[in-house]
Amino acid sequence: MTLDVKSLRSVVRGVGSCLPKRSVSNAELESMVETSDEWIVQRTGILQRHVAADGETTSTLASGAARAALAAAGCEPSDIDLIVLATSTPDLTFPATATLVQAGLGMTQGAAFDVQAVCAGFVFAVAIADNFLRSGSHRRALVIGAETFSRILDWNDRSTCVLFGDGAGAIVLEAEPGTGAVADRGVLTSQLRTDGRYRSKLFVDGGPSTTKTVGHLRMEGREVFRFAVGMVSDVVEAAFAATGTTAQDLDWFVPHQANRRIIDASADRLGIAPQKVVTTVQMHANTSAASIPLALAVACADGRIKRGHLVMIEAMGGGFAWGSALIRW
Ligand code: ACO
């Protein structure tokens, strides 16, 4: 069937997630670095995080999330012709982790590639897949956010190692005719930004072309916090302006899960009611590109997000890179 390219929308068909088996409490971290459950909870809202075991990798978690999303969508791997996988912790320098997932799913058709926008990676991946689907070049996409940040943490640095966790989430997007109106189901707008001048505030101090090592995450936490609320508010406001919607129209706000205080301050500044905010940072910590699809999976599974609901996702992280997408479920 030929679709009318002008009116195509990328509609969410299913959501899935996968977490490492092992969860690590704040109390367990107290035995590794000089920290306390009280400090972590007060500063971040984090109660626990999942940490990958040997043999659990970004691609195995991503494959688990992809299978769960396919099942929720009622799709087979043979129905998919595009995989866009957001990660900053690939299994290998190359090939792309997306191709490992493709092979794991038994797919030989279509195209699979990785996207690197750190914590904003899933929003970037949604925007990329949406553009492919609306162009008519591809029909059904797996969009995945998957990370094993535990592998790039300096476990002696208490200011970073308590903040992050591992996991993966995925959605199936399908091109479907729409009307062009904001009442359409699907991705209604995406807003992406980067500014490389902020590199030193949040980065990994290694890489193939520099140190020839993987490196460790380094962050000026207070500085990142200072920029985060303003940057995410800007891209959420831009999404409202692009679609003629307001905070009151939202059913759910699903922000990147970095820190409870950033989430609360952003929602407050945007005038989004607290009961519309999906928060999973307490269970997962900051899983970078995986945090939004993990939160979407929780809120879909428990019945909060329903078909027809208006859902805003947003994220900001290393680069800096930040973005938002407004999706009618
Ligand atoms: N346990 C106990 N004490 C700690 C710990 C710890 N794990 N880490 C740092 N401290 C100490 C510091 O050494 C410092 O001690 P001092 O006053 O004696 O020097 C004190 O706690 C305060 O440190 P700050 O870094 O100023 O603490 P702050 O209140 O800024 O909180 C935090 C730190 C949680 C990192 C905060 O700045 C933050 O959330 N920043 C945003 C960063 C973030 O979430 N990044 C994720 C990636 S980007 C993104 O996703 C948006």
- What's the pLDDT tens digit per position in 162-188? 999 999 999 999 999 999 999 999 999
- C-alpha dihedral (303, 305, 309, 312), degrees to nearest 10: 170
With a 6 Å cutoff on the Cβ, whether 287 touches ligand 1 is no
Mean of the pLDDT values across residues 17-36? Answer: 97
> Largest Cα–Cα distance of the chain, in whole Å?
61
Same domain, 104 and 218: no
Question: Would you say residue 6 has pLDDT above 70?
Answer: no
* Closest C-alpha to ligand 1, atom 13: 159
Same domain, 10 and 121: yes
Give the number of the atom of ligand 1 that is nearest the alpha carbon of residue 261.
39
Same domain, 194 and 240: yes
Mean of the pLDDT values across residues 125-149? Answer: 98
Catalytic site residue 18?
no
Mean of the pLDDT values across residues 311-318? Answer: 98
Question: Would you say residue 189 has pLDDT above 60?
Answer: yes
With a 6 Å cutoff on the Cβ, whether 159 touches ligand 1 is yes
How far apart CA 134 and CA 174 sit, in angstroms, is 10
* Closest C-alpha to ligand 1, atom 42: 221
Last residue of a domain, one of 123, 151, 177: 177
With a 6 Å cutoff on the Cβ, whether 288 touches ligand 1 is no
- The separation between CA 232 and the C-alpha centre of its own chain, rounded to angstroms, equals 14
At residue 126, the 3 state secondary structure works out as: helix
Predicted TM-score (pTM) of the model is: 0.97
With a 6 Å cutoff on the Cβ, whether 7 touches ligand 1 is no
Residue 161: which residues within 8 A CB-CB, separation 6 or more?
A: 29, 32, 33, 153, 154, 155
Same domain, 249 and 156: no
Directed axis angle between helix 260-270 and helix 37-44, to 10°? 20
For the chain, helix (H) and strand (E) counts, in that order, are: 10, 13
- Going by pLDDT thresholds of 50, 70 and 90, the confidence category of residue 328 is very high
Last residue of a domain, one of 177, 205, 240: 177
CA–centroid distance, residue 4 to ligand 1 (Å): 51
What average pLDDT is seen over the chain? Answer: 97
Using the structure block, give the residue that is written with the tokens 């535990």.
150
Question: Would you say residue 111 has pLDDT above 80?
Answer: yes
C-beta of residue 85 within 8 angstroms of C-beta of residue 25: no
Residue 159: which residues within 8 A CB-CB, separation 6 or more?
A: 219, 221
Question: Would you say residue 119 has pLDDT above 70?
Answer: yes
Look at the chain and report how many structural domains it folds into.
2
Among 256, 259, 284, 300, the active-site one is 256
At 302, the amino acid letter reads D
Pairing between strand 166-177 and 8-18? antiparallel
* Closest C-alpha to ligand 1, atom 2: 35
Same domain, 162 and 45: yes
Give the pLDDT score at 4: 53
Same domain, 53 and 113: yes
Domain that residue 98 falls in: 5-177
How far apart CA 66 and CA 15 sit, in angstroms, is 8
Same domain, 159 and 258: no
Same domain, 169 and 274: no
Question: Would you say residue 194 has pLDDT above 70?
Answer: yes
Among 50, 161, 286, 300, the active-site one is 286
Catalytic site residue 286?
yes
Give the strand order in the sheet containing 140-148. 8-18, 166-177, 140-148, 82-86, 111-115
CB atoms within 10 A of CB 100: 22
- Quote the percentage of the chain above a pLDDT of 70: 98
CB atoms within 10 A of CB 68: 20
Same domain, 35 and 62: yes
- What DSSP line would sit under 155-215, residue for residue? TT-HHHHTTB-EEEEEEEEEEEE--SSTTSSEEEEEEEEE-GGGGGGEEES--TTTTSS--
Same domain, 40 and 118: yes
Last residue of a domain, one of 177, 211, 242: 177
Q: Over the stretch 256-294, which tens digit does the pLDDT of each residue have? A: 999 999 999 999 999 999 999 999 999 999 999 999 999
Closest to 231 measured CA to CA, from 124, 126, 322: 322
Q: Cα dist. 90→101, 205, 214, 230, 266 in Å?
A: 11, 16, 11, 30, 30
- Going by pLDDT thresholds of 50, 70 and 90, the confidence category of residue 160 is very high
At 183, the amino acid letter reads A
With the C-alpha atoms ordered 277, 283, 284, 290, is the resulting torsion angle positive or negative?
negative
Same domain, 149 and 92: yes
Give the pLDDT score at 238: 98
Any idea what the CATH number is for the domain that residue 120 is in? 3.40.47.10
Q: Cα dist. 263→73, 187, 230 in Å?
A: 29, 22, 12
With a 6 Å cutoff on the Cβ, whether 228 touches ligand 1 is yes
Question: Would you say residue 158 has pLDDT above 70?
Answer: yes
* Closest C-alpha to ligand 1, atom 34: 43
